[in-house]
Structure 1
C-alpha cells in the first residue's frame, strides 16, 4: 500500500512520524476526509480548498497550489487502485522540541493514505438512533483541526448507548453532530444551523443544499432549539463517509412516525444522483 508523505508516494511500512511532530504532541494541524466513488475523488476541489483554508486559519502556509495537491491525491488513489473508499489527508505544523510557542520557519508535514469505507446501509435505509449532548467544544468549529477529543468522547458515549450519533446542543440550540451536520424538518421546512464558527460547513452539507434547491425543498439556515428538534417531523444527518442518514429515534423517543420520512428519502435519492452525475462527469473529463 502506498501513502503520500511530504509529496512523495512511499510504501506504508516506510512511513514514519517524528515523536516531536506537533500534530502528535499538540494536535497542531488540520485534516480532510475525501470519499472515492468508482475511482474518482468526489468533491476533491472543495475538500482540498478547505484543507488549505483551515491550515491558513491556524497559521500554516502550504507550498504549492490546490491543483498540485489534487494531482498528488489522484496519484495516491491510482497507485492503490482504490475503487470505492476514502482518502485521509493530514497537515501538521511541523517538527520541533515540545513547547507551546513555535518558530514560523517550521516545515509542515503532509501525510495521506487511502482506506476502505463500509457504507452504513442499515442506518441509511431503516434510520438510526441519536442522543443529545452538551456542546463544550472551542469556538472555532469551522476549522477542521486535529483537536477532536471532545467529539471522540461524546461519540463513544453515544456508541456505548447503542446510538449512531450524538447531536450537540450549545446554549439551548442544536449545532451539529460529533462527526456530522444535522438537519430537521419542521413544518415542512428543512432547517440546519448557519455556516458560522460554531459548526463545520461540511462538503456534503454544501452538496445537500444544492440537492434541496434542485428538489424544490424549502430550506432555512437558521438555529434549531433543542425543543424544536425533539418535536421535529424528520431529522437527518450528513457526513462524507455516512452520506445521508435518517435519525428515527432521539433520546429514546421516535422522530415523527419512527421511520425515515419522505423528505429525507428525497434528499437521499437526490444526493446519490449527484454522486453519480459528478463522478461520471469527472471520469469523462
Structure 2
C-alpha cells in the first residue's frame, strides 16, 4: 500500500528509514492516529495541534504545515482508494549521531500511512475486558502528556493483559489513581455525572476524550475531571473508553469485577459516529 515519506508518495516497499534514525534508535519522536471516514480525515486540525504541541515539547521543528499535512492525507486517501481507514502520522527527530544527544539531528523524518479501519456499528459499542496493569505510571512525568513514539509501558501492559485473556490493560499511577487504558481515555458514570481522570493523573489529552466531554452536554450530564480509584469503578453505574479508531468502547469487566452496562454509553457511541459522518461528508 502506498505511503508518504518526507512529503513524497511511494510504495511501502520503497519507503525506507535510516538505521541511524532517532525514532528507530530511541523512540525519539511522536505519532498521531486519526479516523478517515467517507474519504476524509476526521478532526485533522485537532490532531495537528496536538502533534505540534508535542513537537515543541521535544524541540522538533515540524517539517510541514497544517494545510500541507491535510493535502498529504487527501492525496494518500485518494491513491489508496480507502473511504474508511485509519491514518497514522509518524514523526521522528531524524538521523543523528550515536548517543542520546539530539545535537545535529535537524532533519526530521515523517511518514503518513493508512490501514484498514475496524468495522463499527453506530450505537453498538464493543465491550472490552480490562486487566489492571502491574505497571504504575508516574503522574509527575511530563512525557505522559504527549503522544511520543516510545510506548514501552503500553506495549508491556498490553502484552500482560492479552496473556491473561483480557482485551486491554488499565493503568493506575503511583498514587493508585485511575489513569487510562493503553490506547484510550477512561470514563465512569456516577449517577448524573460522567467522570474522567484529569491530565494531572497522567492521562493523555485525547482528541476523542474532548469530544465526549462536549457530547455529554447534550444529555444534560455533569462532567467531573477528578481522581478516582478502582473502588470508583466498582461502584460506578457504567464505564467506557474513548479512542479515535472506534469512538466509544464499553467496559464490561475490570479484572474479576463486572461493570454495569449503561444506556448513556450507547447513546454517546451513536452521537460520536453521527458527528464523524456529519463532519466528513
TM-score (normalizing by structure 2): 0.92
From 161, 164, 167, the counterpart of 1:164: 167
Name the CA distance, whole Å, in 1 between partners of 2:126 and 2:182. Answer: 21
**Larger mean Cα displacement after TM superposition, 172-181 or 186-195:** 186-195
Name the CA distance, whole Å, in 2 between partners of 1:163 and 1:45. Answer: 34
Cα shift at 1:245? 0.9
1:1-285 maps to which residues of 2 (within 5 A)? 1-104=1-104, 106-119=106-119, 124-125=124-125, 127-137=127-137, 139=141, 140-170=143-173, 171-196=175-200, 198-256=202-260, 260-280=261-281
RMSD: 1.9
- 1:186-233 alpha-carbon deviations (Å, 9 max, x no partner): 133110012347111111111111211122222111111221122211
Cα shift at 1:5? 0.7
Name the CA distance, whole Å, in 2 between partners of 1:61 and 1:236. Answer: 36
Name the CA distance, whole Å, in 2 between partners of 1:79 and 1:196. Answer: 41
- 1:87-111 alpha-carbon deviations (Å, 9 max, x no partner): 1111100102321112255200011
What count of residue pairs does the alignment treat as equivalent? 277
Name the CA distance, whole Å, in 1 between partners of 2:218 and 2:72. Answer: 33
Name the CA distance, whole Å, in 1 between partners of 2:107 and 2:231. Answer: 48
Name the CA distance, whole Å, in 2 between partners of 1:92 and 1:36. Answer: 23
**Larger mean Cα displacement after TM superposition, 204-213 or 64-73:** 64-73
Change (3 A) 1:188 1:73: same
- 1:92-139 alpha-carbon deviations (Å, 9 max, x no partner): 001023211122552000111110022366x95462211112453451
Contact persistence 1:52–1:66 (CA under 8 A)? no
- 1:37-82 alpha-carbon deviations (Å, 9 max, x no partner): 1111011111112112111111101134212222112211111111
Contact persistence 1:119–1:241 (CA under 8 A)? no
